[in-house]
Amino acid sequence: MQFSTESIPLSKRDYFFSQPHQPFFVLGLINAILFMLLFIPSYKGLFEIEAKFLHSYSMIFLVFTNFFYGFLYTTFPRFSGAMPIHPRKYLIVFLFNFFASLTFLVSIWLNFAFYVTAVLMALSFGYTLKIFYEIYKECHLPKKDQYWLIVSLGVGAISNLLFLLSFIPCSCKTNVFYETAINFGVYLYLIFLAFVVAFRMVPFFSHVMNWKRNEKLHFQIFTLFLLRSFLTGIYPKAVFLADIIAAILLTVELKNIKLPFPNREPLLWILHIALFWLPLGLFLGGITEFFETWFGVYSFKLSLHILVLGFLTTILIGFGTRVTLGHSGNMLIVDKITVYIFYFTQVVLLGRIIFSITAYFGKISPFFDISATLWIVLFFWWMAKYFKILAFGEKVIPK
């Protein structure tokens, strides 16, 4: 469902704000490049703000959240058989996110500005949840997916609050707030929300409409992610079990779906690869967690990054390309350059894996810089290819 931009010619500015995914995607793209550029010197101790805090908060709330909002403000009402959300509503949220990005940028040098960032993101989550819950209440279609999307967004709001609590100086153990914020923000918010959307949309795009669904899968995965979040602080040696069990459940479900893979259509196989990375990433992450907690083999958060890069970033690039083309009135056909971009998503993951391996043996540089640069290249490359289509609806001729 989208707003018509063909009956009345729109200025570039009006077109840019006429559909939710356009401003949110652009903000997410700029933040993906900007905050990774800033993370590199931060990791080397050139800024006062803690590098891990800068990286985790910016990626969860200022990068991926903007991509999520761009997609959900379009599809959530469509899932629910409701009218499109009025631009005035989603533009209020966009302003919250935009100013949150600016204040977080300022907080790198003036730390107290982060309090403003956290409040702005709290308002963003609160208003979004209000909008979606009103749609949910009026929905007369099956709405299990909508329910879990709202739950996941709610956990995202809790994660933002925990980041704020971890930032407040006090004599208590703020590290508990920080670690819980990371686990909630990555697993119960980013990965779980993307899982709900992906398992609904990818089979639909692949014309796989009928399979015997595991109706309890959402609850099972959410429970396992919640369990691993608490086990991290209570008994970390058992965390790997939650990941392995989740991987098995998802593998069984993917086997039942029977996706038409391998597939010659790039806009499908990139989504299929992303979906396969979800159980594979959890399995490999579980193995990594096992060796970390039982044998002290530190992997520099490799288990988390396999999921974020293998599953989340790959599905983001696939969905982002499809939404950008489809909602600009272009054909859902991509050229060789886009195919190379799709392949490059896996190069970014490979670079991060190599960094973890070399870092374990004490070789941080230059592999850290290479890994971060690959991420920057990916989003800069995609934006160079699709910015005019995304922002202004440029028409392209398939080759």
**Position 10 confidence tier, pLDDT thresholds 50, 70, 90:** confident
What average pLDDT score do residues 273-286 get?
Answer: 97
Do the domain assignments include residue 5? Answer: no
H/E segment holding residue 67: helix 65-79
Is residue 266 within 8 A of residue 334, CB to CB? The reply is yes
**Residue with more model confidence, 121 or 211:** 121
- What share of the chain has pLDDT > 70, as a percent? 97
Q: Write out pLDDT tens, residues 365-379.
A: 899 999 999 999 999
Examine residue 249 and state whether it is found in any structural domain, yes or no: yes
Residue 327 CA: distances (Å) to CA of 7, 24, 66, 261, 391: 15, 14, 17, 26, 11
Q: What is the pLDDT of residue 166?
A: 92
Residue 5 has pLDDT above 50, yes or no: no
Alpha-carbon gap, residue 55 to 251, rounded angstroms: 31
Spatial separation of the C-alpha atoms in residues 157 and 163, rounded to whole Å: 10
Examine residue 253 and state whether it is found in any structural domain, yes or no. yes
The answer to the question of residue 320 being in a domain is yes
Q: Say if 196 falls within a structural domain.
A: yes
What pLDDT shows up at residue 173? 66
Q: Let me know if residue 399 belongs to a domain.
A: no
Residue whose C-alpha is closest to residue 131's, from 93, 177, 168? 93
Instruction: Count how many domains the chain has.
Output: 1
Rounded-to-integer distance, Cα 100 and Cα 86, Å: 22
* Residue 89 burial by Cβ neighbours in a 10 Å radius (0-12, 13-18, 19+): middle
pLDDT band for 116, please (50, 70, 90 cuts).
Answer: very high
Say whether pLDDT at 399 is over 90: no
Could you tell me the pLDDT band of residue 48, with boundaries at 50, 70 and 90?
A: confident
Dihedral pair phi/psi, residue 221, rounded to 5°: -70, -40
7: in domain: no
Nearest to 67 by CA among 178, 162, 197, 179: 197
Report CA torsion sign: 241, 247, 252, 253.
Answer: positive
**Which pLDDT score is estimated for 398?**
67
Residue 96, Cα to own-chain centre: how many angstroms?
Answer: 18
Q: How confident is the model at residue 169 (pLDDT cuts 50, 70, 90)?
A: confident
Quote the distance between the C-alpha of residue 311 and its chain's center: 9
Task: Name residues whose C-beta falls within 8 Å of residue 209's C-beta, 6 or more positions apart in sequence.
Answer: 203
Q: How far apart, in whole angstroms, are the C-alpha atoms of residue 195 and residue 376?
A: 24
Mean pLDDT confidence for 63-68: 98
| pLDDT value, residue 256 | 94
* Residue ranges making up the domain that contains 78: 12-392
What is the average pLDDT across 296-303? 91
**Amino acid making up residue 214:** N
Q: pLDDT, tens digit, for every residue of 234-251?
A: 999 999 999 999 999 999
| pLDDT computed for residue 198 by the predictor | 97
Answer for the pair 36, 376: CB distance below 8 angstroms, yes or no.
Answer: yes
CB-based contact 23:17 (threshold 8 Å) = yes
Min mean pLDDT across 87-101, 180-194, 204-218 is at 204-218
Q: Is the model's pLDDT at 6 over the cut of 70?
A: no
Whether residue 397 lies inside any domain: the answer is no
**What is the predicted pLDDT for the residue at 3?**
41
What average pLDDT score do residues 324-336 get?
94
Q: What is the pLDDT of residue 194?
A: 98
Average pLDDT for residues 193-216, to the nearest whole number?
A: 92
**pLDDT for residue 59:** 98
Which H or E element spans position 280?
helix 266-295
Cα–Cα distance, 279 to 195 (Å, whole number): 11
Q: Are 133 and 181 in contact (CB under 8 A)?
A: no
Domain CATH number, residue 386: 1.20.210.10
Task: Output the pTM of the full model.
Answer: 0.95
**Amino acid 170: pLDDT:** 79
pLDDT at 1: 40
